C-alpha cells in the first residue's frame, strides 16, 4: 500500500471517529428523552432504555402551550430571515454595483460595526424599542434584522464577482435598477443567499437573550425561553428537557437537509465562469 492510499485511509478513519464522537451527545439526548425519570441516574448507564417511553414528550406539551411557542419561534425566525436577506442584499448591491460618492468609506464604517460586541448594543436597543412602544411585541425582536453588517459583507463579496457586463446589458434593454437587482443580481447570488438564510434562521431560532428581554407575555415567548422554564430551581426533569430540545431541533435539521447542497457552494459565484 503506497503513501497516498495510507493517507486517504487515515483521512476517512479520522473523519469517522470524529463523526461518531460528535454524535454521542445527540444519541444521549434521544436515549434520555425515552427514559422514565427513575431510569435517568441508573448505573451502569443505559444507552438503550430497557423500557422506552414517550411520556417525556407528552409532558412537554402539558407543561405549557408548547405548540404556541413553536409557532412563535417559526414566525419570528422566518420573518427575521426574510428581512435580513432583503435589507442585506439591497445594501450589498448598492455598495458593490452602484457608484456613488463616499461608498467605500461608508462601507468600511458599516463593516466596522461588526467589531462592536452585541452585549454593548442591548441597552441602547432596549431604550429605542421602549421609546417606540414596541416592548412585548414581535416587532421588537424582528426589527434588529434590518441592520446585519456580516450579512451585507458576505453578499458584497459575492456581488463583486458578478460581471458588470450582465448588468449593463440589462440596463441597455431598458431594465430599471430594481429589475437588475431583483432579476439579475439576486439569482446569481442564490447559493450565498441560501447559506445566509439557513445560518440566519438558526441564529434567530436559537436566540435566547434578546427575546427574553423584549417579550414579557408568556403567550409570545419563543422556544428557547420555553425550554429554560423546564429547568427547575431545585430539580430538573432531564428527560422532559431532552424531549423539548429534540423537538426544537427538528426545523433546523429539516432546513439543513434541503439546503445542504448550497452549503457546499455557498461562497461560489453561482456558476459564473471567467
Q: Measured between alpha carbons, how far is residue 67 from residues 18, 108, 223 in Å?
A: 35, 43, 9
* pLDDT for res 273: 40
Which domains does the chain possess?
1-53 (no CATH), 56-264 (1.10.3720.10)
The grid coordinates listed for 80 are 427575521
* pLDDT for res 210: 92
Distance CA 66, CA 223 (A): 8
Q: Compute how many other C-beta atoms are within 10 angstroms of the C-beta atom of residue 18.
A: 10
Cis peptide before 44 (omega within 30 of 0): yes
3-class DSSP string for the chain: CCHHHHHHHHHHHHHHHHHHHHHHHHHHHHHHHCCCHHHCCCCCCCCCCCCCCCHHHHHHHHHCCHHHHHHHHHHHHHHHHHHHHHHHHHHHHHHHHCCCCCHHHHHHHHHHHHHCCHHHHHHHHHHHHHHCCCCCCHHHHHHHHHCCHHHHHHHHHHHHCCCHHHHHHHHHCCCCHHHHHHHHHHHHCHHHHHHHHHHHHHHHHHCCHHHHHHCCCHHHCCHHHHHHCCECCCCECHHHHHHHHHHHHHHHHHHHHHHHHHHHCCCCCCCCCC
* pLDDT for res 274: 38
Per-residue model confidence as pLDDT tens for the chain (274 residues): 577 788 888 888 998 999 889 888 888 888 888 877 655 666 666 777 777 888 888 888 887 788 889 899 999 999 999 999 999 999 999 998 888 888 889 888 888 888 888 888 899 999 999 999 999 999 999 999 888 898 999 899 888 888 888 888 888 888 888 888 888 888 888 888 888 888 899 899 999 989 999 998 888 889 898 888 877 644 667 788 888 888 888 888 888 777 777 666 554 444 444 3
The predicted-structure confidence for 114-128, as pLDDT tens digits, reads as follows 888 888 889 999 999
By the 8 A CB rule, do 99 and 261 touch?
A: no
pTM as predicted: 0.82
Amino acid at each position: 500500500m503506497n503513501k497516498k492510499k495510507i493517507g486517504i485511509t487515515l483521512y476517512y478513519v479520522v473523519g469517522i471517529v470524529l463523526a461518531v464522537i460528535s454524535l454521542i451527545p445527540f444519541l444521549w439526548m434521544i436515549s434520555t428523552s425515552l427514559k422514565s425519570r427513575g431510569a435517568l441516574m441508573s448505573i451502569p448507564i443505559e444507552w438503550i432504555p430497557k423500557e422506552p417511553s414517550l411520556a417525556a414528550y407528552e409532558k412537554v406539551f402539558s407543561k405549557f402551550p408548547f405548540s404556541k411557542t413553536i409557532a412563535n419561534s417559526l414566525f419570528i425566525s422566518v420573518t427575521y430571515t426574510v428581512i435580513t436577506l432583503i435589507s442585506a442584499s439591497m445594501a450589498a448591491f448598492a455598495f458593490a454595483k452602484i457608484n456613488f460618492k463616499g461608498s467605500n468609506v461608508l462601507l468600511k464604517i458599516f463593516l466596522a460595526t461588526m467589531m462592536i460586541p452585541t452585549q454593548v448594543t442591548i441597552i441602547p436597543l432596549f431604550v429605542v424599542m421602549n421609546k417606540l412602544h414596541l416592548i412585548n411585541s414581535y416587532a421588537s425582536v424582528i426589527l434588529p434584522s434590518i441592520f446585519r453588517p456580516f450579512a451585507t459583507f458576505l453578499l458584497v463579496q459575492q456581488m463583486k464577482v458578478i460581471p458588470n457586463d450582465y448588468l449593463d446589458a440589462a440596463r441597455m434593454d431598458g431594465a430599471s435598477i430594481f429589475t437588475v437587482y431583483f432579476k439579475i443580481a439576486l439569482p446569481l447570488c442564490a447559493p450565498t443567499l441560501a447559506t445566509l438564510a439557513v445560518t440566519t434562521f438558526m441564529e434567530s431560532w436559537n436566540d435566547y437573550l434578546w427575546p427574553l428581554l423584549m417579550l414579557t407575555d408568556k403567550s409570545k415567548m419563543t422556544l428557547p425561553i420555553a425550554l429554560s422554564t423546564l429547568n427547575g430551581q431545585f430539580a430538573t426533569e432531564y428527560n422532559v428537557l431532552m424531549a423539548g430540545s429534540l423537538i426544537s431541533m427538528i426545523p433546523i435539521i429539516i432546513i439543513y437537509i434541503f439546503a445542504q447542497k448550497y452549503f457546499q457552494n455557498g461562497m461560489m459565484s453561482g456558476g459564473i465562469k471567467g
